[in-house]
Structures are given as C-alpha cells and as structure tokens.
Amino acid sequence: MTTLRNTETTQELEAILRNQDGVVARSQVLDCGLGSAHVRRRLRARDWVAVHPGVYVEHTGPLTDRQRRWAAVLHAMPAALSHETAIRAAAVGGAVTSGAASRRAAATAQAGTVHGPIHVVVDASRRVSPRPGIVVHYSRHMAERVLDHTHPPRVRLEHAVLDVAGGASSDLAAIACLSGVVQERLTTPDRLLAALASRRRTGRRDFIGAVLADVRDGTCSVLEHRYLVDVERPHGLPTSVRQTPTGVGRRGFRDVEYPEWGLIVELDGRAHHDDAAARDADLERDLDAMVFAGKPSIRLGWGQAVDRPCRTAGKVATILGALGWRGTAVRCSPQCPLE
C-alpha cells in the first residue's frame, strides 16, 4: 500500500511539472505528500535547480520564456502574469494572427530568449518579497480580471493593455500599445473600450478612449494617429478614409485616402518599413495606384507628420487644391506657420 501511495504522489508531482513547463514550487511538492527530504534529494542530485527561494526547475540549463513566467508566478503565488508579460503571453499562446510582432514573440519563446522583466500581479492585501527580474503589481480586481485557466494564469488581455497604456512613459508609447494589439488582431477597439468602461481608474482615461475611437475608425499605427490629430484635423483638411483596399495592382490597404479627389497618403512608420523588400512593396503599390487607378500617392514619414505637421498640412492642402478641393488649410494656433 505504501509503494502504491508513493507511486501516486510521484505521478501527481510529475503531472504538475508537465503542466508547468518543468517548474514547481516547494509548497506544491509538499501538497503532493512527498516532503522536504524529496526536495533536498532532487537538489543534491542536480535533477532540480532553485530559480527563486522555494521555486525549482527540472534542468540545469537556461530557462525558457515560459519557464521564467512560471517561476515568477510561483514565487508570488497566488499570482498572475500582468502588463507587458501578459500581452506577450497572449500573443504567443494561441491568438490568431499573422503579424510580425506575433511571429517575433513566437520565435522568442521558441529560442528561450527573454527581454525585460516578468510582470506579475497579486492581491492588494498581500506583500511579496522582491526578486531580480520580477516586477510585482498589486490589484483589488484579481477575481474579475485574471484568467485562471491559462498556463500560467494571466490578466485578461484587454486589462493588461489598458494597464500598459495607462502607465506608458509617453502618449506615443500609449498609442503604440493600443494600436499594436489591434493591428496584430489580438483584440478589438470595442473590447478595449468595454474594458475601459468597466474600470473606475485608468491612467490617461480620456486620451485612451479617444485613441481607441480613432483606431476603431481605421487608424492602425502611431504615425497614422499623429497624421490624423496633428495634420488633418487641426488644419481643416477634408476628412479622409483610412485602411481602404487598394483595389488595383498589389493587394493591400491604403493608410489614408481622399477618395473625392483621388489622393492617397501613405505613412511610413520606421517599424513597418525598415527593410528593402518592404520598401520595394510600398513603392510598387504607389506605382500601381497611379498606373491602374490614376491616383497620385504621396508618402510621408515621421518628419512630415510629427516634426513638421503644420507645413505638411499646407502642402497636402496645395495638392488637394490642384485636384479640385475648394477648401483652404487653416492655422491650428497663433504660432502655426501657415499663412
């Protein structure tokens, strides 16, 4: 009977190790009924190595990304992945997307390469001892915001995104977070807006709500948002249509289009136009627009849309005027250089 019981407890422990990517907490070993002697024996034999006090991994090599996440959660348990770590885990853990960010995240996980600390959240009533490489957050909303069935448990994606955007170092970083998860099809603006409405406190609440409304209407990148709020709207340019299908030549979507006047504006954010193949595809799409649809296409970067928005607005207005627009660009402020 004793032998049978030992076999059952060993099998229970092995199941935990399989479920947790080879990482286990001392308390879990004790809950299996194996005792401290079992832990000491595995450590002496170098079957296990301590990652944090009371948290072990069953090999002596470098930890993978998933193992680091498990180790952080088990160190702080009951805990869940949060913030950037929860977003990365959601991207790798089954989201349907073909985006570059998700491919990079998957490659990172496969290679075991980890960038930055692991963020976890625990109940606000607790205090967790700090450990290198772990950032601990405290929340009163664990019950409604944590997915306990994921491996490891993590904060729901929408709330993790709002946590990151609300605490971002700049408005640009907040926009990048919000537009990035939507562009990668990890979630939708409506889901993020619903999560925002359910929260009583969120940093940059009004700003985030406005950005999400723009993203819902088709703004898909930081640069597109800046063109919308710094170039087009404040200078009285006509309302554009965003993310329209090309319709001719190479398949894709236009960043900004003024269909009544046949003008296309493409916005080159460096993160999405940083290699020769991508640049070649962009130029081919511009050429197709002119050849097959008779639509001129102008291409703007950070300098035009962010550093010199007023002068850019004047130049876009001039082009639109040559194409038949009867409006006039207006000054956005007393300091605006437009005449």
Whether pTM > 0.75 for this model: the answer is no
Helix orientation angle between 83-92 and 65-76, rounded to the nearest 10 degrees: 130
**How confident is the model at residue 302, as a pLDDT?**
80
Give the pLDDT band of residue 94 (cuts 50, 70, 90).
very low
Give the pLDDT band of residue 11 (cuts 50, 70, 90).
confident
Sketch the domain layout of the chain as residue ranges.
Answer: 2-61, 62-155, 166-216, 222-322
Q: In 166-291, which ranges are E strands?
A: 241-245, 253-258, 263-267
Higher pLDDT, 305 or 159: 159
Write the pLDDT tens digit of every residue in 24-74: 999 999 999 888 999 999 999 999 999 999 999 999 999 999 999 999 999
Average of per-residue pLDDT across 320-336: 94
Average of per-residue pLDDT across 163-178: 91
**DSSP string covering 171-184, please?**
HHHHHHHHHHHHHT
The pLDDT mean for the chain works out to 84
Write the pLDDT tens digit of every residue in 237-265: 999 988 767 665 556 677 899 999 999 99
The rounded distance, in Å, linking the Cα atoms of 89 and 156 is 11
Average of per-residue pLDDT across 177-195: 93
* Residue type (1 letter), 78: P
**How confident is the model at residue 280, as a pLDDT?**
59
**How confident is the model at residue 272, as a pLDDT?**
44
